[in-house]
Structure 1
Amino acid sequence: MSVLLIAGSPSERSRTAALLEATGQRLETRGVQVQRLRVRDLNPQALLLADFGHPSVLAAQELVAQASVLVVATPVYKAAYSGILKVFLDLLPQIALKGKTVLPLATGGSPHHMLALDYALRPVLQSLGAKHILPGIYATDAQVVVTPEGGYQVDSEIGLRLDEAVDTLVVENLIQGLSNSGRFRSVPFSEVRCSV
């Protein structure tokens, strides 16, 4: 399973990036290969002018094509996902997410914008052909706090929800690997779970 973390925040350091990174760390702990794409690092002119042939856009499209799972994170502005993420999603081919599993993440100032995940972002992900969109995780500013050192810390409730989402991603992709081959595939030791 290869996972692409897509940061849809225009800021270099943000609560959204911290939430996405917490997800990435949980995946890596389970032995999952993770790649990162910060939309803000793509050529701004290519994004704004919808330059489908620009090398940075082509490279980003290739990262999306290679991933079996996408984790898409965005801040919520004016009850919708970020404009920079919208511009990027518009540059993807219409079936860019076909057969892929997507975990949407969002951050916002208050719980009032929680439904932006379901009413703004989910329809776009579905229109791009996502096979399965997991229930999104929304965190308020109070749930991703700034530490005294200037970093960010997700609270325990959000941490538990991230753990559950990552477990679902790992289990579903193990099952998918099984059903695609018609027989059991090799399972890395780091993915083995047993109970006594």
Structure 2
Amino acid sequence: MTRPLRIVAVSGGLQRPSRAAALAEYLLDLIGEGVPCDQHLIELGELAPQLAGALWRSQLPETVERQLAAVEQADVLVVATPVYRGSYTGLFKHFFDFIDQDALIDTPILLAATGGSERHALMIDHQLRPLFSFFQARTLPLGVYATDRDFAEGRLHDEALIQRARLAVQRAMPLLALSHRAAPAPLVAAAAL
């Protein structure tokens, strides 16, 4: 018997409400429709005061350490960040600088970003993919990029974006299904039997 997949989303948005967080949650929900999973959303804006001044992982408080561990133990990651000056936010990079460099090997990662216009859409391929290539993760084939006008009242409303998000998840499903079959249920201690 397999356990549900641990799917963790990291939103690099610093404001609330955050379009990056809304996009990440939407993608989490789409994945949850296709495979049994436990979902967890990390909003870096909430961690910013505890994260920003640390130089070493040992300097981080337990609340941040728990979130780093959640990322390192995830079966699947969804990452979404606003585009800031042509790249991901500094806090997003700072968070991933604390992740063990071997923790994400072969982890499927769905990449997403939000920005003010389509001009920054290639940030997914030119910034996010190289970052997660360093970790030897499996970035999924389609990224999802959304602009400000794709949202209404904090939710996705543009039909083309919704279809792209569905297609990205649909194309990812064979790999996620493999991850699900490979995720064994936790062993029950012999003493508990």
Normalising by structure 1, we get a TM-score of 0.81
Shift of 1:113: 0.7
Counterpart residue number, 1:163: 166
2:52 is aligned with 1:47: yes
| Partner AA of 2:51 in structure 1 | A
Is the contact between residue 79 and residue 110 of structure 2 (CA under 8 Å) also seen in structure 1?
yes
Letter aligned with residue 19 of structure 1: L
CA positional deviation for 1:109: 0.7
Larger deviation, residues 152-161 vs 101-110: 152-161
- Give me the CA root mean square deviation: 2.2
Partner of 1:38: 43
Pair 1:103–1:110, CA change in 2 (3 A): same
> What is aligned with 1:79?
86
Higher relative contact order (Cα pairs below 8 Å, separated by 6+ residues): 2
Q: Name the structure 2 match of 1:25.
A: 29
Structure 1 pair 109/172, CA: closer, same or farther in 2 (3 Å)?
same
Q: Give the SS at the match of 2:39.
A: strand
Q: Please give the per-residue CA displacement for 1:96-127, whole angstroms capped at 9, x wherever unaligned.
A: 31120001100111111111111112111111
| SS at 1:29 equivalent | helix
The answer to whether the Cα contact below 8 Å between 1:52 and 1:91 also exists between their aligned partners in 2 is yes
Aligned length: 178
C-alpha offsets along residues 129-187 of structure 1, whole Å, 9 cap, x if unaligned? 2134432111111222x23xxx3233111111111222233321223455x59xxx99x
Q: Which shows bigger deviation, 60-69 or 38-47? A: 38-47
Q: TM-score, normalised by structure 2?
A: 0.82
**Structure 2: which amino acid aligns with 1:165?**
A
Contact 2:8 2:78 in 1 (8 A): yes
> Tell me, which stretches of 5 or more residues in structure 1 are unaligned?
187-196
Question: 1:177/1:22 Cα in 2 relative to 1: closer, same or farther (>3 Å)?
Answer: closer
**Residue segments in structure 2 that go unaligned for 5+ positions in a row:** 186-193
Residues 146 and 161 of structure 2 are in contact (CA less than 8 Å); yes or no, is this contact kept in structure 1?
A: yes
Structure-1 separation of matches of 2:180 and 2:155:
35
1:10: which partner in 2?
A: 14
2:176 corresponds to: 173
Give the match's secondary structure for 1:98.
coil
Whether the aligned pair in 1 keeps the contact of 2:104 and 2:135 (CA below 8 Å) is: yes
**What do the CA deviations read for 1:55-105 (whole angstroms, capped 9, x no partner)?**
133211210122111000000011111111011011111123112000110
Q: Secondary structure at the match of 1:129?
A: coil
1:71 aligns to what SS in structure 2?
strand
Identity within the alignment, %: 30
Q: 1:173 to 1:27 in 2, by over 3 A?
A: closer
